[in-house]
Amino acid sequence: MNGIPPAVLEQSRNLREQLEYHSRQYYVLDDPTITDAEYDALFRELVALEEEYPDLRDASSPTMRVGGQVLESLESRAHSLRMYSLDNAFSVEDWREYTGRTARLANKPEQELAFWVDPKMDGLAMELIYEQGVLTTALTRGDGEKGEVVTPSMRTVRNLPLRLRGENVPAYLEVRGEVVITRKEFELFNERQLAAGGKAFANPRNAAAGSVRQLDSRVTAARPLRFMAYGVGLVDGAAQGPWDTYEHLMQALHAMGFAIAPEARLCASAAEVETAFAELGRKRSSLPFEIDGVVAKVNDISLHESLGFTARAPRWALALKFPAVQARTVLRAIQVQVGRTGVLTPVAVLDPVAVGGVTVSRATLHNADEIAAKDLREGDTVLVQRAGDVIPEVVRPILEERPADAQPYVFPTICPSCGSEAARAEGEAAYRCVNSLCPAVVRESIKFFASKSGLDIQGVGSRWVEAFVDKGLVKSPADLFRITTEQLRDFDRMGEKLAANFIAAFETARVTASLPRLICALGMRHVGEQTAKALAARYRDLDALSAAGFEDLQAVPDVGPEVAEAICLYFENPGNQALLREFKDLGLWPVAPVPAAAAKQGGPLAGKSLLFTGTLSLPREKAERLAEEAGGRIVSGVSRKLDFLVAGDKAGSKLQKAQALGVAVLDEAAFMRLLGSGAKQAHEPAAPQEQLRLL
């Protein structure tokens, strides 16, 4: 380091250490202790220093993370040890057969086999080579024998160490793992791509692969990739390294600075693996990353050598796959449904097929453009998948199997319910029925009125509301409150008890409806929960709202010209005015507590920020609503500024983070006490905190 003053060297070393430390806190431990802005400031300081003294730069500097190197092509290079694939088990029987066979081969009683189990992540396999503790090469799996050198790209991946941590760092280490992208980041990324006129990726795996195999590493740097370690190749000349068990191997990787899947764990027996597999299957859709099963590895590494490899996979590991999330079936018909706003939504009617353990027989096709873009035709054999493992989706037709007489789909231009014209507004993807009295529109509006987004009439599901409408018992939302026990008796599967519950539920909804709920329940276009709240904070009741003019409405936060116009249109409609009169006569006429804002200020949670995590005994939305009604504000993430984290059962990383940051954590009972403390406050002005039991 000729010509570099010792003080500068020292400063550079110091900055690097700080940046590495904070990077690890953030990306590996999920526990940042400084703000992003503070991190950026340190980073810029190091960049400036390296610009002034270019000799300071080397491959392990955190400044490498921004990318910069542009390659002409990707070079290929042999792996020192082949990167094998994995054999799969598709059922518990497959797994039991495997454990029996493995125990025999290893000459061990089956009960003595323990397994390291980690999620099978759906990304791109990668090998990272560290020499003297510094990342020198990153190689894709390729064909297993040789891969492509993607070192500059991989250096930009934020959560992998450029330099290994700790005392016992091997002189030569090959770490293997999966490059992944979170589902959330994947969706955001796709949205941005589409907005910028680019192409979206089909799934997180393609996104990860496409991002890594970039010649310009600055492109990779802008993609939110993560590296999750799951094993090693050669370590100081030894396959699998010096460790006696897989558990110790993984602990060592973690200590050296690698992220490993938080769900990974040791299972003491084959039976425990089955439990872990089932548990992860249930948690699957709530995990941040896409996974397609688990990988079980014999924990005792001394057995690996004797077990050896088949032509394609190690005998000491097996992937237990979740049932396929894609399947083929026949698209029998495309049905068009009319929604409460008159929108015509095409729905695929499918031959029932199991996808990821759930039978799918219908799937939304969104709109006419979507059908045209995929060129879906009635009679086609199609590929169906459960996106995010929840909502079924038709991916594409399988063209080789298209019947010769299949015709391109023509979207209807008349409403299938009432026969009125269906028109497409300028710039909109949807066709709408123009008839506001369309029976389908009326039925869906009434269903919406009763639903969770509306008055939330407890226990009366949408099927029942539909049945009431179809029988002619209910012709408008107001009719719900006129239903009698005798009328209910006419319905199949309606017992005395259920009928009594329904009547009580209608009555409760009528008496307890708040103004924002009722505004929302009316289903005006563009008026959702937030806007309804804002309107209720300004107008005392529906009369006041209905009398408000176009200009006046726009003074409400959240309300622009489009929303104001929709509100005016709603109240100009004589049918809607008649409905409001009926509500008034029925006593369904909430009045905002005046002034709403002032009441909130005095609420027990006035000015406090809250976040809910884990499972509560009441629905999350309801808890949030209660908190807001008490003057609290719901925020989206844990930070030092958070006033309360309300933790239900099975609270995870948010709880850990809140505890680490010293944020007050409440259990559900403490939260309820806090809500109740507002009422008491007038009489006994004790500080609410004193009544809390902090977890």
Q: Which residues are catalytic?
A: 120
Closer CB to ligand IVH, 317 or 518, in the complex: 317
The residue (of 304 and 654) whose beta carbon lies closer to ligand IVH is 304
Which range in 6-14, 17-25, 113-121, 637-645 contacts ligand IVH by CB under 6 A?
113-121
Q: 178 or 380: whose CB is closer to ligand IVH? A: 178
Phi first, then psi: give them for residue 76, nearest 5 degrees: -110, 155
CB 79 within 8 A of CB 239: no
Site membership for ligand IVH, residue 120 (CB under 6 A): yes
178-217: which residues touch ligand IVH (CB under 6 A)?
A: 178
Q: Which is nearer to ligand IVH, 123 or 257 (CB)?
A: 123
Compute the least distance from the CB of residue 272 to ligand IVH, in Å: 17
CB-CB contact of 573 with 467 (8 Å): no
Q: Which of 121, 418, 469, 548 contacts ligand IVH by CB under 6 A?
A: 121
- What is the nearest approach in angstroms of ligand IVH to the Cβ of residue 322? 13
404 contact partners, CB below 8 Å, separation of at least 6: none
Of residues 27, 98, 118, 234, which one binds ligand IVH by CB under 6 A? 118
Region label for 542, one of left (φ > 0), alpha (ψ between -120 and 50) or beta (otherwise)? alpha
Is the CB of 256 or the CB of 376 nearer to ligand IVH? 256
Q: Please report how close the Cβ of residue 626 comes to ligand IVH at its closest, in angstroms.
A: 41
Q: How far is the CB of 152 from ligand IVH (least distance, A)?
A: 21
The nearer residue to ligand IVH, 86 or 442, going by C-beta atoms, is 86
Stretch that binds ligand IVH, among 21-29, 115-123, 467-475, 613-621 (CB under 6 A): 115-123
Q: Which residues contact 200 (CB under 8 A, 6 or more apart)?
A: 190, 193, 194
Helices 270-283 and 92-106: crossing angle, nearest 10°? 150
Report the alpha-carbon distance of residue 640 to residue 112 in Å, rounded.
46
Residues in contact with ligand IVH, counted by CB under 6 A, come to a total of 15
Q: Report the alpha-carbon distance of residue 572 to residue 578 in Å, rounded.
A: 11
Min CB(228)–ligand IVH separation in Å = 8
Contacting residue, 46, 113, 128, 295, with ligand IVH by CB under 6 A: 295
Q: For the CB of residue 148, give the shortest distance to ligand IVH in the complex, in Å.
A: 14
Phi, psi of 509 (to 5 degrees): -60, -40
Q: What does each C-alpha distance from 435 to 2, 200, 342, 636 come to in angstroms? A: 82, 37, 8, 40
Nearer to ligand IVH (CB atom), residue 28 or residue 433: 28
Q: What is the DSSP string of 522-573?
A: TT-TT--HHHHHHHHHH-SSHHHHHH--HHHHTTSTT--HHHHHHHHHHHH-
For ligand IVH, the nearest residue by Cβ is 125
**Helix (H) or strand (E) run with residue 653 in it:** helix 653-661
Maximal C-alpha separation, the chain: 96
d(CA 14, CA 692) in angstroms, rounded, equals 43
Contact letters (x/-) for ligand IVH, 296-335, by CB under 6 A?
------------------x--x-x----------------
Quote the least distance from Cβ 319 to ligand IVH, whole Å. Answer: 6
- Residue list 61-100, contact with ligand IVH (CB under 6 A): 84-86
Least spacing, CB of residue 294 vs ligand IVH, in Å: 8
User: In the bound complex, what is the minimum distance in angstroms from residue 300's beta carbon to ligand IVH?
Assistant: 16
H/E stretch holding 283 reads: helix 270-283
Near ligand IVH in 151-180, by CB under 6 A: 178
Instruction: Take residue 230 and report the two structure tokens written for it.
Output: 């799951």
Q: Which residue lies nearer to ligand IVH by CB, 315 or 657? A: 315
Q: Strand 134-140: give its sheet, edge to edge.
A: 134-140, 124-131, 172-181, 225-235, 238-239
> Other C-beta atoms within 10 Å of 395: how many?
16
Distance CA(228)–CA(240), nearest Å, equals 17
Q: Is the CB of 126 or the CB of 675 nearer to ligand IVH?
A: 126
Instruction: Write each residue from 230 to 269 as x if it is in contact with ligand IVH (CB under 6 A), else as -, in one continuous string.
Output: xx--------------------------------------
- Identity of the amino acid at 611: L
Site string for ligand IVH, 124-153 (x = CB under 6 A): -x---------------x------------
Using CB under 6 A, which residues numbered 592 to 631 contact ligand IVH? Answer: none
Structure-token pair, residue 592: 């905002």
224: closest CA among 65, 14, 59, 48?
Answer: 65
Give the residues lining the site for ligand IVH (CB under 6 A): 84-86, 118, 120-121, 125, 141, 178, 230-231, 295, 314, 317, 319
